[in-house]
Amino acid sequence: MKFKIAILGAGNVAWHLAPALEDAGHEITEVYARDIQNAIGITERVYSAEPKDDLDFSESRAKIFILTVKDSAISELADQVILPEDSILVHTSGTMSLEILGYSSASYTGILYPLQSFTKGKKVEMDEVPFLIESEDEGTLQKLKKLAKTISPLVYQVRSRDRKAVHVAAVFGSNFTNHMIRIAEEIMQRQGLDFEMLKPLIIETLSKSLQIGAKKAQTGPAIREDYETLDEHHRFLAYNEQLAEIYRLISQDIIDS
């Protein structure tokens, strides 16, 4: 099943999604951005999509309209876009509800959330990206599932409540792991030490964690309940109260769990 698709927004998601959809055999008809230059930045990545800076899609041949703009812009754009009959409007956000599309002129609405961190210019293997899909209309759900499956085998039908849980888990697994590495970088820099020294350990730990599960993979002073070392480290971090408290709290949680 091949679809005609219009993309609204010209950010990181659009940059990756438009060529992936085309490679999967779909046709990108238009790309909208408030600034036409940004729209052209995306249409240049595909065969023959039309760049647009107005929201009148009443003459569009597209069937599916994908909102790839940032969360705070979804509501306004959904309300303003003029869509043809029988169109499906979806957003690609991990946090926003389905209801946010409720006042649009679309016949059907849904969510097509690629659970990945995208940066323009940095290649992502799209066939390894999980897609979380949602719709209240069974026909739309099936279409979104078919569409997503043409890009990646990892397609999950997820209710809004669960999508929120996924997003919270993603914050811990992605943003917070990244921040722990940030803190490690800063401790090393502060002492004039080369952060490269730590990379093999971090890579080994995290590959082990994803392979055998984080519970089994845990090591270090907290899981050993080595209070002497924990106290020493806590004292070491006395120069930054918030950091010392983060150290204490996570160590406690490791001990408790």
Residues between 118 and 147 with contacts to its own copies, criterion CB under 8 A: 119, 122, 124, 128-130, 132
DSSP letter at 172? Answer: I
Nearest to its own copies of 43, 75 (CB atom): 75
- Per CB under 8 A, the segment of 1-9, 41-49, 81-89, 154-162 that binds its own copies is 154-162
Under the binding rule (CB under 8 A), the answer on residue 172 touching its own copies is yes
Under the binding rule (CB under 8 A), the answer on residue 223 touching its own copies is yes
Under the binding rule (CB under 8 A), the answer on residue 1 touching its own copies is no
- Per CB under 8 A, the segment of 35-43, 55-63, 77-85, 221-229 that binds its own copies is 221-229
Under the binding rule (CB under 8 A), the answer on residue 109 touching its own copies is no
Under the binding rule (CB under 8 A), the answer on residue 24 touching its own copies is no
Of 38, 150, 157, 205, which lies in the binding site for its own copies, with binding defined by CB under 8 A? 205
Look at residues 187, 128, 235, 124 and name the one whose alpha carbon lies nearest to residue 179: 187
The amino acid present at 194, given as its one-letter code, is D
| Number of C-beta neighbours around residue 159 at 10 A | 11
CB 31 within 8 A of CB 45: no
Of 37, 80, 117, 142, which lies in the binding site for its own copies, with binding defined by CB under 8 A? 117
Could you tell me how many helices (H) and strands (E) the chain has, helices first?
10, 8
Nearest to its own copies of 48, 242 (CB atom): 242
Buried b (16+ CB within 10 A) or exposed e, 12-30: bbbbbbbbbbbebebbbbb
The amino acid present at 87, given as its one-letter code, is S
Give the binding-site size for its own copies (rule: CB under 8 A). Answer: 87
Under the binding rule (CB under 8 A), the answer on residue 160 touching its own copies is no
| Number of C-beta neighbours around residue 103 at 10 A | 11
CA distances from 151 to 8, 41, 147 (A): 19, 22, 7
Nearest to its own copies of 1, 171 (CB atom): 171
Of 201, 225, 227, 231, which lies in the binding site for its own copies, with binding defined by CB under 8 A? 201
Of 120, 136, 171, 227, which lies in the binding site for its own copies, with binding defined by CB under 8 A? 171
CA-based diameter of the chain, in Å? Answer: 71
Residues facing residue 16 across a β-bridge: none
